[in-house]
Amino acid sequence: MASSSQSVYFSQREINKLQSSYEQGGLSMFATKIVKKLNDIENAELNIAVTGEAGAGKSTFINAMRGLRGCDEGAAKSGVNETTMERTPYKHPNFPNVCFWDLPGAGTAKFPMKDYVSKMEFNTYDFFIIISQSRFTENDANVAKVIQNLGKKFYFVRSKIDNDIRSLEMEGKVFDTKMVLTEMKQKLSCYLMEAGISEPIIFLISCLPPEKINLDNLEQTLLNNLNGIKKDALLMSLSSTTVKIVEQKRAQLKERIWMLAIASGVVGALPVPGLSVAVDLGILVAAIIGFRKSLGLDDASIQRLANVAKTPVEFLKAVVTTPLVGEINEEFVALMLLRTGFVAVSVVELALDFIPVIGSIFGAVSSFGMTYKLLNNALDDLVENAQRVVKAAFPTDPSHPQ
C-alpha cells in the first residue's frame, strides 16, 4: 500500500520494521516498539549553543526562547560586561531536555580561537546561534567556519533591532522600516560572504515585547531545519504566543494519539469498571497532562505568558473554560471514558496510511477506538482554549484569523 501521508516520528525504515514486528511477534511486540518510541519522544534532548561577544544580547535571547523575563527565576543573567566566563546551561522551565547553552565570546584573552572549540565542546550541540548587536566580527565568522566544517547548522542573529529603529525615529528621519532592515541585512550578508561564509542565514530581531521583531520567523526556520523528535522537542518548548504555533503543536500531537491509544490498550491494561474494555488509565492521564503542558495551559505557562504580555494572569485564565485544566487523575479519565462509550472510528479517520498494518491493529485492540476518540476530543478542546488565551494575550497579533 503506497503512503499518501508521512510520519513525523517514524522514518520509512522504522515503519517497515514496525510492520515486520507485528507480522512476526504480533500485537505485543508491536506495542513494545510503540512504547519505546513514546519514551524516545519524551526523553529527546535538544542542545542549542548561543555565542557572541559581551553585551550582544545572548541572555535576552535565551530568556525569550524560554518564555522568561530577565527578572524571572532561572533567567539567564544579562549585562554589558562579560557575565559568561564558562559555558552555562539554561534548561527550559517546562521541558528540561531542551537546553540553551550560553557560551562566552570567542577570540578573547581567556578564550583564544585555538582553544575555543574544544573548551566549548562544539560536538555536543544540535545547532548554533551567533549573536551580535552591531556588525559581525572576524571572530564570529571564524566560529561559523568551524561549525560549517563540523556539518552543523548555524544562524546569525543581529539583535536589538528595536534600538536601531528607535534611534532613526529620534533623529526625526523619514524612513521605511522594511527597507532599512533589508539594507542592513544585505550589508551584513556581504561582509560574512567576504569572510568566507557561503549563504549566511541572518535574522534581524528584537526579543523584547511587545515588538519581538522577527523572532517568530527565526523560530519557524529553526523548526523547518530540524527533523523527527528533535523538531518535536523544539516545537513543544516554544511559547504558545501565536495561533500558528498552537496549530503546529496540534498537528504534531495528533500523531501521538494513535500510539498512545495502542499503548493504553495493550501495556498494563486493566478492565475499566462499567466498560467492557481494558485500558491503562495512567497512560491516558499522562497524555492529557502532556497535551496541556505542550499547549501552555498549565498554571506556570499561563503566568509566564501573562508576564511577557504584561496582562493580568486572571484575565488570561478567565478565557479558559475546559475542565481539563483542573486535576487530571485516573478517576477523572475513567469518567471521560464512560461518557465517551463505544465509538466507531474508521481506519480512514485515523489518516495512518503510512503504516499499512494499522487496520489489523485497530481491530485487535478493543479499546482503541474509544481511547483514540477521547484523546482527540481532549486535544481539540485544549487547542481551542489555548487559542483563546493567545488572542487574549496578544489581540493585535497579525497571525490571528479574522
Domains in the chain, CATH or no CATH each: 12-43+240-393 (no CATH), 46-234 (3.40.50.300)
3-state class (DSSP) for residue 249: helix
pLDDT at position 402: 38
Model confidence at 2, pLDDT cuts 50, 70, 90, reads very low
C-alpha cell at 388: 483563546
Greater pLDDT, 194 or 6: 194
Q: Is residue 166 pLDDT above 90, yes or no?
A: no
pLDDT (tens digit per residue) in 198-221 = 899 999 998 766 556 788 999 999
The beta-strand segments (E) located in 189-329 are 202-204, 270-271, 278-279
Which residues make beta-bridge pairs with 127?
48, 153
- Name 176's Cβ contacts closer than 8 Å, sequence gap at least 6: none
Greater pLDDT, 110 or 14: 14
C-alpha angle with apex 290: 265 to 226, nearest 5 degrees? 105
3-state class (DSSP) for residue 234: helix
Of 75, 76, 80, 77, give the one whose Cα is nearest residue 54.
80
pLDDT at position 355: 82
Model confidence at 348, pLDDT cuts 50, 70, 90, reads low
C-alpha cell at 358: 494499522
pLDDT (tens digit per residue) in 352-397 = 777 888 888 887 888 888 899 999 999 999 999 999 999 999 987 6
C-alpha cell at 347: 481506519
3-state class (DSSP) for residue 253: helix
- Name 401's Cβ contacts closer than 8 Å, sequence gap at least 6: 243
pLDDT (tens digit per residue) in 171-180 = 777 778 888 8
Of 259, 288, 268, give the one whose Cα is nearest residue 361.
259
For the beta carbon of residue 23, count every other beta carbon within 10 angstroms.
Answer: 12
pLDDT at position 145: 93
pLDDT (tens digit per residue) in 85-106 = 789 999 999 999 999 999 988 8
DSSP secondary structure, 326-362, as one string: S---HHHHHHHHHHH-S----HHHHT-TTSTTHHHHH
Q: Is residue 60 pLDDT above 70, yes or no?
A: yes
pLDDT (tens digit per residue) in 241-265 = 999 999 999 999 999 999 999 999 9
Residue 29: φ, ψ to 5°: -65, -40
pLDDT at position 72: 92
Place of cell 488570561: 316
Q: How far apart are CA 116 and CA 386, in angstroms?
A: 43
Tell me the average pLDDT of the chain.
89
Least confident of 65-74, 163-172, 180-189, 192-201: 163-172
Q: How far apart are CA 287 and CA 81, in angstroms?
A: 44
Among 80-84, 100-104, 157-161, the range of highest mean pLDDT: 100-104
Q: Is residue 283 pLDDT above 80, yes or no?
A: yes
pLDDT at position 83: 54
Of 73, 52, 76, give the one whose Cα is nearest residue 64.
76
Determine if the pTM surpasses 0.85.
Answer: yes
Burial 59-91 (b: 16+ CB within 10 A, else e): bbbbbbbbbbeeeeeebbebeeeebbeebbebe
Q: Is residue 27 pLDDT above 70, yes or no?
A: yes
- Name 47's Cβ contacts closer than 8 Å, sequence gap at least 6: 99, 101, 124, 125, 126
